[in-house]
Each structure stands twice: as C-alpha cells, then as structure tokens.
C-alpha cells in the first residue's frame, strides 16, 4: 500500500467507484419506473453521440463528448417516442429498432472517418479501459497534498468526480419530485410536478453518467452498473431512501472488488497478467445481484411467497 498503489491503483479504483455510483443513482429510478432498458438504449447510443461530437469538434475532450452523448440520448428518446406513437409499436421493440440503428450508424461513421490517430476505437468503446487511467507521476501518498502533483492526475478522474457530484446533487434536489413521480405519476401531475420534463431530465442525467463512465468501463458494461446495484438494492428494502443508499454501497463494492479481483485475482490462480477490470466489475455486480435474488429479505413479490407456500 505504498507509492505503487497510489501510482497504479488509486485513480482507477476511484474512477471505478465514482462511475458506479453515478450510474447507480439514476438507475434506481429507471428500475422503479420500469425503464431499465432505457439504460440499455442510452449506453448503445453513447457511441454515435461521441463519434459525431468528435467529428464536429475534431478533438477528444470532455465537454463536447458529454454534450454529444447527452444529445444522442435525447435524440434516441425522442425517436423512440415518435416510433411508439406514430407506428403504434410497443416500447421495447421501438427501443430495439432505434438504438441498434443508431449504434450501427455510429460504427459506420467511425469506420468511415480516420479516427485511428485518436483513442477512439470500437473495442475500446465497448470494453472500457480502466487500467490505463494511472497516475504515473505520483510518488506516494504525500503526492495527494502537493498541488503541482495533483495537476497531473488523469483528466478522467476530475471529470467523473464532477459528474458524480452533479448526479448526487440532482438526485437530492429533485428527490421529492422524483419519488412522487416515480410511484404515482397521476398524483404528481395533479400536484403540478412537470413529470414529463422530469422523466426526460432523468434520461439526460443517466446519459451524462453513462458517457462519463464510458471512459472507465465502456459502453456496454455501463448497463450492468445502471441495473445491477439498484436491482440488488431493491431486493433489500422497501424504502426508497434505503434503496438508494444500498445501491451506492453495492456499486462501491462492485467497483472496488472488481478492480482488485481483476488486477490481483489472476496472480492468485497462478496466471500472468490481469483481466479486464470493467468486465470484472460487471461480474461482481452480477454476483451481488444473484446473492440478493437468493437471500434478499424483500426478494419476492408481495403475496407470491404466501401463494407458493399453499
């Protein structure tokens, strides 16, 4: 736990934890609103959003990428709504048709343009690249107190920290509205809560979390972070507040354990090298969810347990 840890593990772990929390918070509401698969759609359209943002600005930097992904998420949501209404198509199929098409367009544009000079390749976008986000200049724990050293931290860390803070603040600020609109949309409208705008806002926040986490874990595994910790938390408690806290705990646990297992696990089994940290984080979150499905105190539907006992 010395200088090497600070150099190679501190920042990836932090980035993993912050991404997991940033995704898990909106995930809670998506799951309760039966919109879990919006997370799926968002994570697929992050790729075209980023590619288009890159083409328009010609640079890989945080703000255009965030805007591009959020824009793509909005476009996707609007298109899905349009297909649903105009074509009278059920939401799942509308989503499936739209996000796969947008993803295909993203891959095509990526192949058509010369982006080989930058680190925007499809596999990276899908799988993430947590291990490479190291703090090479660090010399030990004391570097944390040295402003000139702090400036050399990977940019992804400050970005995900800002996004995570934004997600937390947004969740707290709109807590009451979100809670009411999630459980009783009609009541929310009667109270004058703009529930449609709130729903869209939730999607945009989820998109921002997804693109910030995209650096760390890639666009597909983000889905696991949106869904697994909140889903596991849902099986632990009946109170929304507790559920959100549980989901943050599970998210942290998945990120830390996942990173450690990916980095050191293979050595314990006598292998050389490490495995994908992003994949391992998703795996751990899945194991946690499996545990919650089997042992969670509130795992069954109300009434199902009695029915089966009969």
Partner 1 sequence: MNLFLDALFLQAGYNAALVAIGAGLLGFAAGASGTFPFLRKRALISDAVAHATLPGVGLAFVIMVALGGDGRSLVGLLAGSAATAWIGLLVIEWIARRTRLAEDAAIGAVLGVFFGVGIVLLTVIQSMSAGRQAGLESFLLGSTAGMLLQDAVVIAIGGSLAVFTTWLMRRPMTLVAFDSDYAASMGYDVRRVDLLMMALVMSVTVVGLKLVGLILIVAMLIIPAVAARFWTDRSSRMIWIAGGIGGASGYLGAVFSASAPAMPTGPIIVLVAAAIFIFSLLFAPERGVLAAIVRHRRFQVRVHRLQGLLALAAEHPIREAYTLRLLAREGLARPDGVPTNAGRAQAAKIARDERRWDVAREVYQDAGLTGRYDGLTPIEDVFTSDEIADFDHRLGPPVAVESG
What residues between 289 and 308 interact with partner 1 by CB under 8 A? 289, 293, 296, 298-302, 304
x/- track of binding to partner 1 for residues 34-63 (CB under 8 A): xxxx-xx---x-------------------
Is residue 180 a contact point for partner 1 (CB under 8 A)?
no
Q: 253 near 275, Cβ under 8 Å?
A: no
138: tokens are 């660090």
Q: Which residues of 79-108 are buried (b: 16+ CB within 10 A; e: fewer)?
A: bbeebbeeeeeeeeebbbebbeebbeebee
Give, as ranges, the residues between 247 and 266 that touch partner 1 (CB under 8 A): 262, 266
x/- track of binding to partner 1 for residues 121-140 (CB under 8 A): -xx--xx-------------
The H-assigned helical ranges of 88-194 are 91-112, 122-127, 147-150, 155-173, 175-183, 185-190
139: tokens are 């010399």
Q: How far apart are CA 266 and CA 194, in angstroms?
A: 51
93 or 118: CB nearest partner 1: 93
4 or 111: CB nearest partner 1: 111
Q: Among 202, 223, 248, 255, which residue interacts with partner 1 (rule: CB under 8 A)?
A: 223
192 or 301: CB nearest partner 1: 301
Phi/psi of residue 304, each to 5°? -70, -40
Is residue 71 a contact point for partner 1 (CB under 8 A)?
no
Is residue 281 a contact point for partner 1 (CB under 8 A)?
yes
Chain centroid to Cα 295, Å, comes to 25
39 or 199: CB nearest partner 1: 39
Size of the site for partner 1 (CB under 8 A): 71
Q: How far apart are CA 71 and CA 279, in angstroms?
A: 27
Q: Among 76, 94, 240, 255, which residue interacts with partner 1 (rule: CB under 8 A)?
A: 94
Q: Which stretch binds partner 1 (CB under 8 A): 50-58, 95-103, 167-175, 203-211?
A: 95-103
x/- track of binding to partner 1 for residues 1-40 (CB under 8 A): ------------------------------x--xxxx-xx
195 or 254: CB nearest partner 1: 254
Q: How far apart are CA 158 and CA 166, in angstroms?
A: 12
38 or 153: CB nearest partner 1: 38
Q: Among 226, 246, 250, 259, which residue interacts with partner 1 (rule: CB under 8 A)?
A: 226
Q: How far apart are CA 217 and CA 16, in angstroms?
A: 8
Q: 282 near 258, Cβ under 8 Å?
A: yes
In which residue are the tokens 């990977």 written?
Answer: 154
Q: How far apart are CA 25 and CA 230, in angstroms?
A: 8
Smallest gap from Cβ 246 to partner 1, in A, equals: 14
143 or 285: CB nearest partner 1: 285
């Amino acid at each position: 736990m010395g200088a090497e840890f600070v150099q190679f593990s501190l920042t990836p772990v932090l980035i993993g934890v912050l991404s997991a929390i940033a995704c898990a918070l909106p995930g809670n509401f998506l799951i309760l609103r039966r919109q879990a698969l919006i997370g799926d759609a968002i994570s697929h359209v992050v790729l075209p959003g980023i590619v288009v943002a890159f083409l328009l600005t010609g640079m890989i930097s945080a703000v255009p990428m965030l805007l591009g992904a959020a824009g793509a998420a909005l476009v996707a949501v609007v298109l899905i709504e349009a297909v649903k209404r105009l074509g009278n198509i059920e939401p799942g199929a509308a989503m499936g048709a739209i996000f796969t098409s947008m993803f295909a367009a993203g891959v095509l544009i990526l192949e058509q343009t010369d982006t080989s000079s930058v680190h925007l390749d499809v596999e990276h976008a899908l799988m993430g690249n947590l291990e490479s986000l190291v703090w090479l200049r660090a010399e030990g724990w004391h570097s944390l107190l040295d402003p000139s050293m702090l400036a050399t931290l990977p940019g992804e860390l400050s970005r995900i920290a800002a996004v995570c803070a934004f997600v937390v603040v947004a969740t707290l600020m709109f807590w009451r509205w979100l809670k009411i609109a999630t459980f009783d949309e009609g009541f929310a409208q009667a109270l004058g809560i703009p529930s449609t705008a709130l729903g869209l806002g939730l999607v945009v926040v989820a998109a921002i979390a997804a693109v910030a986490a995209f650096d760390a874990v890639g666009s597909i595994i983000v889905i696991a972070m949106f869904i697994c910790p909140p889903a596991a938390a849902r099986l632990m408690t009946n109170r929304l507040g507790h559920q959100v806290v549980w989901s943050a705990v599970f998210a942290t646990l998945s990120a830390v354990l996942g990173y450690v297992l990916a980095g050191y696990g293979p050595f314990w089994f006598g292998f050389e090298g490490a495995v994908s940290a992003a994949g391992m984080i998703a795996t751990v979150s899945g194991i946690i969810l499996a545990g919650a499905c089997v042992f969670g105190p509130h795992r069954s539907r109300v009434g199902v347990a009695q029915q089966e006992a009969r």
